């Protein structure tokens, strides 16, 4: 490869603040321009020293222009592009394992409002995050890129083969399942309908047509307010359950047959319990380890351990959990409170809404019990909501002060501070994307929860305005 200095006007101000912890994300047309996308394409080829990449996009209005500019940057840096066109993030992840590529990029802003767009990136099959993204930012800013003549490689039939692969990696349902699918008019809709039809489901279609204005509700299925229409449809049609899909197809949320919203960590407990029930006698510890993030309920830990598993808590972030599974390939599963589910069991470790759906349908179809019966034996504890508390001082100094306030108690510092109380826990972590502290608490009883909130106020109320936490 030859090298070139990117030929835009020297001194141009690029929106480098869009380089986040897990991806690149910002407002299209102002932060993420065509020039930005072209420059990013050249930067990622240079940073990864790659010869070929898979690229997909969602349905956002800005997608075609950013996609074209990005491909121009890739090919001008000497990279061949397997162009998947419109697809889900799960399909892009699959492409990194199924095609002869050095990585992949999905052009998407997931659940963000319509004016946003972004780039999720993989080095090989590993999602880029943290230091990788900041090192890419340095290459992007420097502008000294390699050059060459890359081309576009056709991928006809790939998406059909991908959905067929999803179905082949889950057991065929033992009966037909009646389900409502709500895709919030985002990209996964037609692909989800195709999957469910192949699985023999009776499907009620809710907002599965594409509309990049998201006219009905935001494509974020882990917020109960976005699941109201789904809940109503499940009850109206007598469906067994409902599935909501996020904007790019790597997360799901669910409601039961009564329209009751089910928090993702409870679904993770169901998946974990099922997997652990099939683990061979005498399996090593790593084969029984279920990984989850710090925001999950203590009921998940209890369910994992009761099923003979080992509960391993780690920092929040889909890229970090995928990396943990890559480093521990015998660990069967990981999951997040945000609705990401990562299966190593019969899958490739990626978070994919289609595969999570296939596995859930497999579970439901084993008998004729109500969907809510899946959660029998998994306790429900009083908890706060996820409070977003303004960060008014420095991130590091604030978290140092919180740690000092809890220095006489047992806590985990794997991601912020998660304090263990006799009958519950409290979490305080600094957001990776916003100037806020994310707080949550849970306890065995309402009285214990109130006691935890009182103690939190006494310990850190003088340094942090806890109004949003106390009212959550």
> What whole-number distance in Å separates Cα of residue 388 and Cα of residue 160?
41
pLDDT at 260 over 60: yes
Q: In this predicted model, what pLDDT tens digit does every residue of 47-60 receive, in sequence order? A: 999 999 999 999 99
> What whole-number distance in Å separates Cα of residue 431 and Cα of residue 353?
24
As a whole number, mean pLDDT of residues 156-176 equals 98
Q: Which residues pair with 55 in a beta bridge?
A: 83, 105
Identify the pLDDT of residue 9: 41
Q: What CATH number is given for 177-261 in this structure? A: 3.40.120.10
Q: In this predicted model, what pLDDT tens digit does every residue of 128-141 receive, in sequence order? A: 998 999 999 999 99
What does the DSSP assignment read for 280-295? Answer: PTT--GGGGEEEEETT
Identify the pLDDT of residue 2: 62
Tokens in use for 313? 């808590």
Q: In this predicted model, what pLDDT tens digit does every residue of 170-225 receive, in sequence order? A: 999 999 999 999 999 999 999 999 999 999 999 999 999 999 999 999 999 999 99
> What whole-number distance in Å separates Cα of residue 87 and Cα of residue 405?
47
Q: In this predicted model, what pLDDT tens digit does every residue of 98-130 receive, in sequence order? A: 999 999 999 999 999 999 999 999 999 999 998
pLDDT at 368 over 80: yes
**Residues with catalytic function:** 25, 110, 340
Q: Which segments of 252-288 are extended strands (E)?
A: 252-255, 261-262
Identify the pLDDT of residue 11: 44
Classify domain 2-159 at the CATH topology level: Alpha-D-Glucose-1,6-Bisphosphate; Chain A, domain 3 (3.40.120)
pLDDT at 354 over 90: yes
Using DSSP's 3-state secondary structure scheme, residue 266 falls into helix
Angle at 125 between CA 22 and CA 4, to 5 degrees: 75
Domain boundaries, the chain: 2-159, 177-261, 264-349, 387-470
Tokens in use for 467? 């109004």
Domain 387-470: top CATH class = alpha beta
Identify the pLDDT of residue 13: 82
pLDDT at 382 over 50: yes
Residue 6 pLDDT grade (very low, low, confident, very high; cuts 50, 70, 90) = low
DSSP 128: P
Identify the pLDDT of residue 228: 98
Q: Are 269 and 300 in contact (CB under 8 A)?
A: yes
Domain 264-349: top CATH class = alpha beta
> What whole-number distance in Å separates Cα of residue 392 and Cα of residue 279?
48
Residue in the block written with tokens 């943290």? 130
pLDDT at 5 over 80: no
Kindly provide the b/e burial profile for residues 353-372, where b requires at least 16 CB atoms within 10 angstroms of the residue's own CB: bbbbbbbbbbbbbeeeeebe
Reference 416, options 436, 430, 432; nearest CA is 430
Q: Are 268 and 128 in contact (CB under 8 A)?
A: no
Using DSSP's 3-state secondary structure scheme, residue 279 falls into coil
What does the DSSP assignment read for 200-259? Answer: T-EEEEES-S--TT--SS-S-TTSGGGGHHHHHHHHHHT-SEEEEE-SSSS-EEEE-TT-
pTM for the full predicted model: 0.95
Q: Are strands 387-390 and 436-443 parallel, antiparallel or unpaired?
A: antiparallel
Q: Are 29 and 18 in contact (CB under 8 A)?
A: no
Q: Are strands 24-27 and 116-123 parallel, antiparallel or unpaired?
A: antiparallel
Q: Which residues pair with 118 in a beta bridge?
A: 25
The mean pLDDT of the chain is 96
pLDDT at 7 over 60: no
- Identical fold, 2-159 and 177-261: yes
Q: In this predicted model, what pLDDT tens digit does every residue of 271-310 receive, in sequence order? A: 999 999 999 999 999 999 999 999 999 999 999 999 999 9
Q: Are 226 and 217 in contact (CB under 8 A)?
A: yes
């Amino acid at each position: 490869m030859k090298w070139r200095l990117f030929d835009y006007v020297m001194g141009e101000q690029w929106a480098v603040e869009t380089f986040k912890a897990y991806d690149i994300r910002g407002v299209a047309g102002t932060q993420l321009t065509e020039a930005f996308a072209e420059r990013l394409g050249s930067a990622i080829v240079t940073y990864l020293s790659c010869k070929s990449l898979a690229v997909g996009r969602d349905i956002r209005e800005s997608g075609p222009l950013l996609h074209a500019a990005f491909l121009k940057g890739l090919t001008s840096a000497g990279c061949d592009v397997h162009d998947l066109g419109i697809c889900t993030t799960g399909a892009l992840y699959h492409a990194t394992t199924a095609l002869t590529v050095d990585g992949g990029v999905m052009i998407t802003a997931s659940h963000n409002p319509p004016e946003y767009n972004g780039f999720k990136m993989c080095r090989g099959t590993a999602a880029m995050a943290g230091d990788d993204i900041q090192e890419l930012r340095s290459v992007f800013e420097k502008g000294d890129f390699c050059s060459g003549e890359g081309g576009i490689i056709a991928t006809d039939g790939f998406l059909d083969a991908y959905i067929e692969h999803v179905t082949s990696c889950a057991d065929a349902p033992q009966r037909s399942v009646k389900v409502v699918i709500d895709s919030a008019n985002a990209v996964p809709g037609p692909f989800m309908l195709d999957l469910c039809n192949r699985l023999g489901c009776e499907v009620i279609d809710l907002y599965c047509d594409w509309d990049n204005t998201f006219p009905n509700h935001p494509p974020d299925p882990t917020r109960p307010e976005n699941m109201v229409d789904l809940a109503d449809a499940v009850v109206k049609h007598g469906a067994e359950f409902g599935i909501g899909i996020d904007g790019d197809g790597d997360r799901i949320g669910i409601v039961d047959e009564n329209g009751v919203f089910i928090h993702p960590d409870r679904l993770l407990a169901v998946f974990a319990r099922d997997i652990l029930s099939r683990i061979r006698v005498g399996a090593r510890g790593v084969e029984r380890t279920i990984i989850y993030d710090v925001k999950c309920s203590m009921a998940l830990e209890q369910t994992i351990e009761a099923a003979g598993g080992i509960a391993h808590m780690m920092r929040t972030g889909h890229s970090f959990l995928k990396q943990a599974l890559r480093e521990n390939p015998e660990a069967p599963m990981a999951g997040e409170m945000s609705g990401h589910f990562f299966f190593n069991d019969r899958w490739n470790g990626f978070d994919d809404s289609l595969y999570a759906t296939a596995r859930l349908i497999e579970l439901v179809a084993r008998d004729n019990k109500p969907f809510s019966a899946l959660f029998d034996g998994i306790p429900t504890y009083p908890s706060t909501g996820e409070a977003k508390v303004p960060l008014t001082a420095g991130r590091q100094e604030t978290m140092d002060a919180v740690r000092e306030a809890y220095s006489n108690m047992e806590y985990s510092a794997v991601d912020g501070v998660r304090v263990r109380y006799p009958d519950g826990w409290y979490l305080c972590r600094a957001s990776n994307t916003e100037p806020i502290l994310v707080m949550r608490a849970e306890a065995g009883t309402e009285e214990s929860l109130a006691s935890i909130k009182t103690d939190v106020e006494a310990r850190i109320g003088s340094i942090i305005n806890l109004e949003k936490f106390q009212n959550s």
